[in-house]
A and B are shown apart, each in its own frame.
Chain A
Amino acid sequence: MLKRCFHILPLLTILLALTGCRQGSNAPVPEPRPAAYYWRTTLKLDSAELDFLREHGVKKLYTRFFDVVLRDGEPMPNATLRFLDTVPADVEIIPVIFIMENCIKADMDKYAELLVQRVCQMCETNDIPMPRELQIDCDWTKTSLERYYQFLKHVRKHTDSRKMRLSATIRLHQLDMTPPPVDYGVLMVYNTGDAQKLNGRNPILDYRDVKPYVNRLSHYQLPLCAAYPTYGWQLLFDNNGEFKAILHDENLNDSTLYHPIEPNKWLVVAHRDLPELSDDASTATWITPGDSVIQWTVAASEIHRVQQALQHERPSINHQVVLYSLDTKNINRYKKEDYETFFHP
């Protein structure tokens, strides 16, 4: 009997190692649930947004708490979320912190503890249940990878001591690099193209831009789920086709300003200085006759096509789908059935 065990053990070890690898690259994220990102500066949900959460059983809200930016050379919180409302009790808020890459190039390690403390303090002050997870969002590159991962390890020390999971966003180009030291990643399957190109492909999502990265998925050694876009973009170009600005909720049906020339393209027919979002007049956006506006949204079929392609390479990736982002104007872009398909492809 013992002898037989000795024979079987090496085999088991190899098998375990193999399945271990397999699980590492295809393991689902912990407690998968339909989820959405919330990416505004005030937390206040309207009735359409509350209905959406209920109807589609959204149980996780990845909520941007604040950004970290360099201010006077030091990483500092910015655009901190103001809590004007609560979310339904059965929806878990997962704080997300967006960190500008240049902060990583500065020394962020000493801020890891401050960051975790701040998140917890925000929850306590605003009567939000202590989070069970923290997510870090950063567009790191090969040059900042080492420092970023070092920073994540520091963050992890503090999240572990508070029994919090740590997750991170993963951009498609980051699939080529070693996975970050976190519990799982959310693959951002959006912003895949070049928004500054007038006649380019849909910059929000186009399967042709995702395709080159798909084969990395089966080997990526980190549990992953995916986030898909439900947002739209209005991009302004001048009459030479040069990118000018992203517009904010312009009413393109205003025929005194815009004239439709293609299904997703409008010609500007009148001059207007659009309201600035800041009091810095030099940042004002001017539209002028001859400019054009492209409105990009992603067809439900395209999202589904991408979902299928990713799932083919990595069957568990859609066990949890996160939509970017929860907002009434995004909700209205798709039918209820579409959302059901997004969440359960």
Chain B
Amino acid sequence: MKRFSILSLLALMAAIQAMACGPWSRPMYYVFSAYNRQQLGYTFTPRLVDYWVKYTGNKDAGYALSSLNWVNPEEFDNSTNSIVRTAIDRKDREMEDYLRTLVTYLKASSDIDDDNWQYPTKQQIKNKNTSMQYLNNRARAYSGTRLRPQYCLLTMRTFMGMGDTQGIISYWNSVKNSVEDGVFKDMMRNIYAGALLRTGKRKEACDIYAEQNDMLSLKWIMRDDRNLEGIKSEYARDPNAPTLIYLVQDFVNNGSHTLRAQYEYDWDNPAYVSESQEEIRQFIAFAQQVVKEGKTKCPALWQSAAGYLTCNMGNNQQGLAMLDNAMKMKGTERMLDNARVCRWVSSMNDADGSAKYQEYFLNELKWIQTVEKKEISTYGGNLNVYGNFSDHYTEVLQNVMYDIMPAKAQQWGKTNLATAMVGWMNHHEQELSNNNEEVWISNDYKYALDSLTANEMIQYRDYLHNPRQGSELERYLNTGAGSEMGEDYFNDRIGTKYIREGKFEEAIPYLEKVSLSYIGTQAVSFYMARRSYNEDRWFRNQVVCHSEYWDCDETPTPVKYNQKLNFCRDMVMLKNTIANPEPEDENDIISVPQLKYKMASILYQASYKGQCWYISRYGQSCYDEVCYKDELDFVAEAVRLLDEAVAEADDLSLKQNALYARAYIPFGSRFHTQTWDEEYNVTDHYDKQSREYQTMNQLATFVMNNRSQVSSNIQRCDVLKQFQRGTFKGHWPSD
């Protein structure tokens, strides 16, 4: 089910078409993780499930466990619940008795529901307490050893059912040393922590919650201690308080995000920024003091916290040295791993792309995959709140390989490396999710590939096809980066990029190699099969679905020819003919202004504003603009050609069409703009010098002077009529 969800989500994301010019935004996840926040929710349930899987020999025992509360105690013997059934079928009387008591307890607990229409009567509450007392006695009467932890937990739960907080505390204290360690004892301890909290022993309760990774409870109960003062106070109480791991981690991650946000806002270091940074400075000093004092059993935690924040404060070399030291200090395995991850991520702040750095980076990249694998095999992956596959180390990798390092590699001038990092991560995530049973190109990788120029794409293809070339890091990343793409993919991309750059002739050899069957699998084929760039956009609207912007089902459609290829051939022919206007056949004279008009028309159709946008890109959004490196502005080019056609045309028909086209195309300054004040009151501005007004004015003047000859279609134009009446307020979409 989980795999299905991930695949569905990714498929959905892949299907999103309105992403032509922008990356999707991924949050910077928390890096510092000495305390595994992802264990939350895994503390008890998987261990309980493990127990029952072993008992029943059935992998689906988790479901049977969660449905024990549906078992009717009076029909226990006939129950189909696999846990109950196993005990009965095996004639395991001891387990049968326990389960009978357990389901009776579950029934008694659920019988009284505060949020039901039948509010419990006093008698029902009394009965419930009587049942709980009976079950309490029964659980305590168990004298065996095999199921003692289970019965002890049940005893605690019945105390809880009676609201007997003191009973919970006393009972725990009487049995805590004699109950075998394991999940049942841990659950007892969690109940005990709740009882401590209710009797005002907050700190003791927090220590237990911290040890059990109950972060939600901790976050709420310790909400006033999440600062340096709170950390100092906990340290003074107990230098090894379990809560300190949580508080330190929380402080470091919040501090790190604070600094990032402050840098992003580029505040000029006003007093309030200094104040929050001062607390971070004081924390660094305090953490170092803790290490020096030697009272803590885990100096690695404090040292890595100080080191990571030092890096975040901008003192990278000093911070890296501190993190190096942290990795040699005492601490849990996770704390040492955390120091190493922090060191790796911080090293990227001033990574220089040297062979030495690449070697270090690769070594750590390989290592982090081992801890990632170990963690996923223990706790499983999960979908985080952003809907992505989530494990702490996977999140670190996502930030590093999708965001941080590709930007660095670009700074080093290594575009192939930058793209390969994204490709490698795309492949890595597929391995984590489905062992490559299904292949996809993530939005990150799509965006990275889409951002390349045609030449860069050719180089990247060559890089992928030569896995033995490049640095060791480049060779390593090459192992998975290109497995999702075939020859058709590259030829189509390279050809399209050449189109975008206005290099139509160069595009042709690549597009010639693209199979029609491949084009028929693309979402854009839906439009390609239904539209023609030979229609003037300003005279005809090619509607292909009723709800253009919302519900258009872009089912890939087989195509009879590659429209991109025809477009390139037409463009080359037009360019050549304009440059060399000698007609081959004197009967077939087409004037240069006519050719320019034609070229403007098809360029506009292939632009981000045209209806054949699929010629130059793979998605369209109303927010699109010229956004790719080296992209030729087709709209500007079309306007330039139309201007020339207007100026050069002798033919009235051509002139009217070109004037109309110019007035139609939203380009240049606008006649009508609006501004808003702080109270959202709007002010309208009108500019008669704007290009929009001027082109309308030219068209209107032309129509007025040639009324008898201008086509009736143009004369019927409502916007033109508005202009003529003096009620024109602009016809392009307003901001």
The distance in angstroms between the C-alpha atoms of A114 and B118, with both chains bound, is 8
B262 at the interface (CB under 8 A from A): yes
Contact B115 A271 (CB under 8 A): no
Contact A284 B385 (CB under 8 A): yes
Contact B275 A259 (CB under 8 A): yes
Q: Mark A105-129, 1 if CB is under 8 A from B, else 0.
A: 0000001001000100110110000
B627 at the interface (CB under 8 A from A): no
Q: Mark B107-121, 1 if CB is under 8 A from A, else 0.
A: 000000011111111
Q: Mark B252-264, 1 if CB is under 8 A from A, else 0.
A: 0011011011100
Contact B117 A269 (CB under 8 A): no
Residues in chain B near residue A239, CB distance under 8 A: 265
Nearest Cβ distance between residue B44 and chain A, in whole angstroms? 14
Contact B121 A121 (CB under 8 A): yes
Contact A77 B257 (CB under 8 A): no
From 246 to 267 in chain A, residues with beta carbon under 8 angstroms from any chain B beta carbon are 251, 254-257, 259, 267
Residues in chain A near residue B265, CB distance under 8 A: 239, 289-290
The distance in angstroms between the C-alpha atoms of A239 and B223, with both chains bound, is 24
Contact A256 B227 (CB under 8 A): yes
Nearest Cβ distance between residue B260 and chain A, in whole angstroms? 8
Contact A269 B115 (CB under 8 A): no
The distance in angstroms between the C-alpha atoms of A282 and B224, with both chains bound, is 22
Q: Mark B382-410, 1 if CB is under 8 A from A, else 0.
A: 00110000000000000000000000000
Nearest Cβ distance between residue B593 and chain A, in whole angstroms? 48
Contact B114 A111 (CB under 8 A): no
Contact A259 B272 (CB under 8 A): yes
CB-CB under 8 A for A254 and B227, given A124-B122, A199-B678, A269-B275: yes
Residues in chain B near residue A199, CB distance under 8 A: 678-679
Residue of B nearest to A279 (CB): B216
**Which listed segment binds B: A78-86, A142-150, A173-181?**
A78-86
The distance in angstroms between the C-alpha atoms of A114 and B117, with both chains bound, is 6
The distance in angstroms between the C-alpha atoms of A76 and B116, with both chains bound, is 7
Residues in chain A near residue B203, CB distance under 8 A: none
Residues in chain A near residue B731, CB distance under 8 A: none
Residues in chain A near residue B120, CB distance under 8 A: 121, 125
Residue of A nearest to B228 (CB): A256
Nearest Cβ distance between residue B596 and chain A, in whole angstroms? 44
The distance in angstroms between the C-alpha atoms of A239 and B266, with both chains bound, is 13
Interface residues on B, range: 35 or more
The distance in angstroms between the C-alpha atoms of A267 and B114, with both chains bound, is 41
Nearest Cβ distance between residue B247 and chain A, in whole angstroms? 13
From 287 to 326 in chain A, residues with beta carbon under 8 angstroms from any chain B beta carbon are 288-290
CB-CB under 8 A for A80 and B216, given A269-B272, A271-B258, A289-B265: no
Q: Interface residues of A, CB < 8 Å — how many? A: 38
Residue of B nearest to A80 (CB): B114
The distance in angstroms between the C-alpha atoms of A124 and B122, with both chains bound, is 8
Contact B257 A78 (CB under 8 A): no
A281 at the interface (CB under 8 A from B): yes
Residues in chain A near residue B276, CB distance under 8 A: 256-257, 269-270, 289
CB-CB under 8 A for A270 and B119, given A125-B125, A289-B265: no
Contact B261 A275 (CB under 8 A): no
Residue of A nearest to B125 (CB): A125
CB-CB under 8 A for A282 and B115, given A275-B220, A289-B258: no
Contact B385 A271 (CB under 8 A): no
From 73 to 112 in chain A, residues with beta carbon under 8 angstroms from any chain B beta carbon are 76-80, 82, 111
Residues in chain A near residue B202, CB distance under 8 A: none
**Which of A77, A79, A276, A290 is within 8 Å of B216, CB to CB?**
A276
CB-CB under 8 A for A79 and B115, given A267-B272, A279-B216, A290-B265: yes
Residue of A nearest to B219 (CB): A275
From 240 to 283 in chain B, residues with beta carbon under 8 angstroms from any chain A beta carbon are 254-255, 257-258, 260-262, 265, 267, 271-273, 275-276, 279
The distance in angstroms between the C-alpha atoms of A257 and B258, with both chains bound, is 10
Residues in chain A near residue B262, CB distance under 8 A: 269, 289
The distance in angstroms between the C-alpha atoms of A281 and B385, with both chains bound, is 7
CB-CB under 8 A for A288 and B261, given A121-B119, A281-B385: yes
Contact A270 B258 (CB under 8 A): yes
Residue of A nearest to B271 (CB): A259
Residues in chain B near residue A37, CB distance under 8 A: none
B226 at the interface (CB under 8 A from A): yes
Contact A272 B254 (CB under 8 A): yes
Residues in chain A near residue B254, CB distance under 8 A: 270-273
Contact A256 B279 (CB under 8 A): yes
Q: Mark A163-184, 1 if CB is under 8 A from B, else 0.
A: 0000000000000000000000
The distance in angstroms between the C-alpha atoms of A204 and B471, with both chains bound, is 64
Residue of B nearest to A290 (CB): B265
CB-CB under 8 A for A272 and B226, given A122-B119, A124-B121: yes
A38 at the interface (CB under 8 A from B): no
Nearest Cβ distance between residue B78 and chain A, in whole angstroms? 28
Residues in chain B near residue A121, CB distance under 8 A: 118-121
Residues in chain B near residue A254, CB distance under 8 A: 227
Residues in chain A near residue B279, CB distance under 8 A: 256
Contact B273 A269 (CB under 8 A): yes
The distance in angstroms between the C-alpha atoms of A269 and B275, with both chains bound, is 9
The distance in angstroms between the C-alpha atoms of A270 and B257, with both chains bound, is 8
Residues in chain A near residue B223, CB distance under 8 A: 274-275
Residues in chain B near residue A66, CB distance under 8 A: 115
Most buried by A among B260, B261, B267: B261
The distance in angstroms between the C-alpha atoms of A272 and B267, with both chains bound, is 19
**Which of B115, B216, B275 is within 8 Å of A255, CB to CB?**
B275
Residues in chain A near residue B227, CB distance under 8 A: 254, 256
**Which of A78, A275, A289 is within 8 Å of B115, CB to CB?**
A78
Nearest Cβ distance between residue B126 and chain A, in whole angstroms? 10
Contact A256 B275 (CB under 8 A): yes
Nearest Cβ distance between residue B229 and chain A, in whole angstroms? 9
Residues in chain A near residue B115, CB distance under 8 A: 66, 76-80
The distance in angstroms between the C-alpha atoms of A288 and B220, with both chains bound, is 19
Nearest Cβ distance between residue B309 and chain A, in whole angstroms? 13
Q: Mark A8-43, 1 if CB is under 8 A from B, else 0.
A: 000000000000000000000000000000000000
Nearest Cβ distance between residue A95 and chain B, in whole angstroms? 12
Q: Mark B354-398, 1 if CB is under 8 A from A, else 0.
A: 000000000000000000000000000000110000000000000
The distance in angstroms between the C-alpha atoms of A251 and B226, with both chains bound, is 12
Residue of B nearest to A248 (CB): B223
Contact B117 A77 (CB under 8 A): yes
Contact B272 A77 (CB under 8 A): no
Q: Mark B226-238, 1 if CB is under 8 A from A, else 0.
A: 1110000000000
The distance in angstroms between the C-alpha atoms of A124 and B223, with both chains bound, is 38
Residue of B nearest to A75 (CB): B117
Residue of B nearest to A67 (CB): B115
Contact B224 A251 (CB under 8 A): yes
Contact A118 B119 (CB under 8 A): yes
Residue of A nearest to B41 (CB): A279
Residues in chain A near residue B224, CB distance under 8 A: 251
From 288 to 330 in chain B, residues with beta carbon under 8 angstroms from any chain A beta carbon are none
Nearest Cβ distance between residue A73 and chain B, in whole angstroms? 15
Closest 3 CB pairs of A and B: A259-B272, A271-B257, A289-B261
Residues of A within 8 A of B (CB): 66, 76-80, 82, 111, 114, 118, 121-122, 124-125, 199, 239, 251, 254-257, 259, 267, 269-276, 279, 281-282, 284, 288-290
User: Could you jot down 29 A-B contacts, CB within 8 Å?
Assistant: A66-B115, A76-B115, A79-B115, A80-B119, A118-B118, A122-B119, A125-B120, A125-B121, A125-B125, A199-B678, A254-B227, A255-B275, A256-B227, A256-B279, A259-B275, A267-B272, A270-B254, A270-B255, A270-B276, A271-B255, A271-B260, A272-B254, A273-B219, A273-B254, A275-B219, A281-B385, A288-B261, A289-B267, A289-B273
In the complex, besides A118-B117, A259-B272, 11 extra interface pairs with C-beta distance below 8 angstroms are A66-B115, A77-B116, A121-B119, A121-B121, A199-B678, A255-B275, A256-B275, A271-B255, A272-B226, A275-B223, A289-B267
Residues of B within 8 A of A (CB): 114-122, 125, 216, 219-220, 223-224, 226-228, 254-255, 257-258, 260-262, 265, 267, 271-273, 275-276, 279, 384-385, 678-679
